[in-house]
């Protein structure tokens, strides 16, 4: 987890002007918990050695490799710094190969707009477990089933099961959670209403 946050804020190690610019435009951190893969494609003789790469803009983070497993349980957290919530997030699954280029095992894209919209609401008045919004699977998204944004234990979370594209089969289950950072623009400033 700490490695992911460090990667997300790597510009903080640059000169003060770059660091100041990053903090001015930073809305917060998006924690993506990559839970598991479901019925992933076989790319080796009988199995695969899958890992997940998550990209948003120029940021690229990846999970560890799970050896010989088409139903891997990563339960790994990757943290992206969010400056522009309208950017889509791309998730790609690869099969790790030792002596050749890693094989692609499918990809999926998702946007965080419903999640960000829920974060901007005053949810303290709602009871724990309240569903804020629902997104149905359709041709325009990679959802395998309905995805709900939920107010749970004082936090906004969203669980998704993404159907992988460009592959014969496979799904990846993830969960989104937001992290506010002191000294950042945040989602609640007057300027963020146009987001």
Of the pLDDT bands very low, low, confident and very high (cuts 50, 70, 90), residue 186 is confident
Within 13 Å and on the Cβ side, how many CA atoms surround 93? 35
**What integer pLDDT is reported at residue 59 of this predicted model?**
96
Q: What is the pTM of this model?
A: 0.83
**What integer pLDDT is reported at residue 14 of this predicted model?**
44
Handedness of CA 51, 170, 101, 96 (dihedral sign): positive
Tokens 């790469």 belong to residue: 53
Handedness of CA 12, 13, 15, 16 (dihedral sign): positive
**What integer pLDDT is reported at residue 122 of this predicted model?**
86
**What integer pLDDT is reported at residue 10 of this predicted model?**
45
On average, the pLDDT of the chain sits at: 86
User: Do 180 and 190 touch, CB atoms closer than 8 A?
Assistant: no
Note the pLDDT tens digit of each residue in 75-97.
999 999 998 888 899 999 999 99
- Tell me the mean pLDDT in the region 141-160: 95
Residue 170 φ/ψ, nearest 5 degrees: 125, 145
**What integer pLDDT is reported at residue 24 of this predicted model?**
67
Of the pLDDT bands very low, low, confident and very high (cuts 50, 70, 90), residue 192 is very low
All residues at 6 or more sequence positions from 170 whose CB lies less than 8 Å from its CB, including other chains = 37, 38, 39, 40, 41, 93, 105, 106, 163, 164
């Amino acid at each position: 987890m700490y490695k992911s946050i460090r990667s997300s804020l790597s510009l903080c190690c640059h000169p003060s002007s770059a660091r100041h610019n990053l903090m001015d435009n930073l809305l917060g951190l998006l924690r993506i918990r990559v839970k598991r893969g479901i019925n992933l494609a076989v790319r080796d003789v009988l199995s695969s050695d899958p890992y997940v790469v998550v990209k948003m803009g120029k940021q690229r983070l990846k999970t560890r490799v799970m050896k010989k497993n088409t139903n891997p349980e990563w339960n790994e957290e990757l943290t992206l710094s969010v400056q522009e919530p309208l950017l889509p997030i791309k998730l790609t699954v690869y099969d790790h190969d030792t002596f050749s280029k890693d094989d692609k095992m499918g990809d999926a894209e998702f946007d965080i707009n419903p999640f960000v919209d829920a974060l901007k609401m005053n949810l303290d008045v709602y009871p724990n477990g309240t569903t804020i919004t629902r997104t149905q699977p359709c041709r325009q998204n990679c959802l395998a089933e309905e995805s709900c944004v939920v107010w749970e234990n004082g936090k906004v979370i969203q669980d998704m099961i993404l159907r992988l594209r460009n592959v014969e089969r496979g799904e990846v289950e993830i969960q989104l959670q937001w992290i506010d950072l002191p000294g950042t623009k945040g989602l609640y400033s007057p300027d963020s209403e146009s987001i």
